[in-house]
Amino acid sequence: MSPEGQEPLEAVLERRFGLSTSLPALFFEREAPRIAEACWAMARRFHQGGRLLAFGNGAWATDAQHVSVEFVHPVIVGKRALPALALTNDSATLSGLMAGGRADRPFGEQLRVLARPQDIALGFSPDGRCANVLAALAQARQLGLLTLAMLGGDGGLITAEAVDYRFVVPADDPLIIQEVHETLYHVLWELVHVFFEHEGVLQ
């Protein structure tokens, strides 16, 4: 039974499970060629001594941390550790950069100081309208980094021209968007290692 005016629990569960299975399948079928291309580009950057620098806001800050630890501390025995850092980890630096009233600048400023041209910038935004993520990706591009964006909705202000690789989950539900993002960066991690097992293609 559900309180008057509320959707029945069974309907909520059915809709949730339906989205969690159908949307990811459609997304990965559509994006498979570009995912493989992005993994090859990432593997080449790592092969050249580059690092992964990830960032996002709120719940997506935890995704930045999650993907960075996957690369630094592989959960599969025998996979090499690769350098990665979540720009969201240092609360002192973030709050210090934001104290001047420029909430759109912290990630970009961190990249300006820390990034090297061979690095990879990975920005997360549930709707593509996070000003600080947009500014950081623009900064990364200016510095010559490989740029990737994991987005939701219609991709918002982070256009295909703004980054090297743009992956948009066509949904407004933040839970579904984050589920697909998590699967996507696990796929990126795995395929980067596949390319490292065939290093001749990275020259």
20-40: pLDDT as tens digits? 778 889 999 999 999 999 999
Domain range 10-202, CATH class: alpha beta
3-state secondary structure 72-137: HCCCCCCCCCCCEEECCCCHHHHHHHHCCCCCCCHHHHHHHHHCCCCCEEEEEECCCCCHHHHHHH
List the chain domain ranges: 10-202
Band the pLDDT of 1: cuts 50, 70, 90.
very low
CA neighbor of 136 nearest in space, from 179, 176, 107: 107
Single-letter amino acid code for the residue at 163:
V
| pLDDT tens figures, 144-185 | 999 999 999 999 999 999 999 999 999 999 999 999 999 999
Alpha-carbon distance of 38 to 166, in angstroms, equals: 10
Tell me the average pLDDT of the chain.
91
Give percent above pLDDT 90 in the chain: 71
| pLDDT tens figures, 60-71 | 999 999 999 999
Band the pLDDT of 17: cuts 50, 70, 90.
confident
| pLDDT tens figures, 123-132 | 999 999 999 9
Number of Cβ atoms within 10 Å of the Cβ of 2: 11
